[in-house]
Amino acid sequence: MTSRNIAIALHVNRDDAVEAAAEFVAALSARGITCYLRPDAIEVIRPRLARAVDLRSYDPVDPGVIELVVVFGGDGTILRAAEWALPAQVPILGVNLGHVGFLAELEPSRVDELIERIVNRDYQVEERLCLQVTLRDRPGGEVRWSSYAINEVSLEKAARERMVEVLVEIDGKALQRWGTDGVLVSTPTGSTAYAFSAQGPVMWPDLDALLVVPLLAHALFARPLVLSPTSVVTITMLRGQATSGVLWCDGRRSTEVLTGGVVEVRRLARNLKIARLDSSPFVERLVRKFQLPVEGWRRVDAGKEIQAIKSEPEPEL
């Protein structure tokens, strides 16, 4: 019988994450499934488990032996786990211990269900578009820094009191010059993260598209733009200004951008794999996460009212 291996990622400084992960690992171990964790996670979780539970480190490990990464924490913990899972092409499933948590799949109260679903391989895997980010010191110059992004790339001002002057190009054609606090390029997954706070549109995560959002730009035309997934966005830090910029990927990896620097953003060749337990529509997740009102002022359930209207017979002419 082929052995089964699950990787576990958790926020090691949160007691609720450590406790939930320990219970999860113990249950999987009892079912004959081996659990892999980072060394720092093994250190905090080991005292909560029986000696017989086999814990192994996936730092390093051959990605081919892991079938799934289960994450206990908020979206930040999921993004950290993705730094290993994305290049390894291993699906991620998040247990939400954060606040809104759009990357997470389920709440802690459903961990018992999660165990059974994993044992039975009863989950689906969907793919999410990611971004490839390249920084050059000048147009056509050598690559100085590169990374990927799952949520968004942001070029922001380094000094609070100064804006940055940038030129934004789409597919090699100039779009506009902005004096701005920064520019975001987001994926549909990231449209409910930083881009949402910057007044960008909410995009359904299964879309293939790029989103460009200027941050408080001083310009008549400074609206979010939805682009083709094949588009290339270029942001140039114009020369002649007294400030530099900071390039961030998912709010986790950053580098300085000097004047004359050129940031290129395009679709990454690989997608992020997200494991899902149910097929509830994204609109239901929006309603649940943001607690959107779906009841009228009469306290009538909107869904039942709409169904009742649809059931009414057509009026005779």
Residues with a catalytic annotation lie at: 75
11 close to 74: Cβ distance less than 8 angstroms:
yes
3-state secondary structure 165-224: EEEEEECCEEEEEEEECEEEEECCHHHHCHHHHCCCCCCCCCCCCEEEEEECCCCCCCCC
254 close to 248: Cβ distance less than 8 angstroms:
yes
185 close to 153: Cβ distance less than 8 angstroms:
yes
305 close to 296: Cβ distance less than 8 angstroms:
yes
Instruction: Write down the H helix ranges in the chain.
Output: 15-30, 39-45, 75-88, 111-119, 194-197, 282-290, 302-311
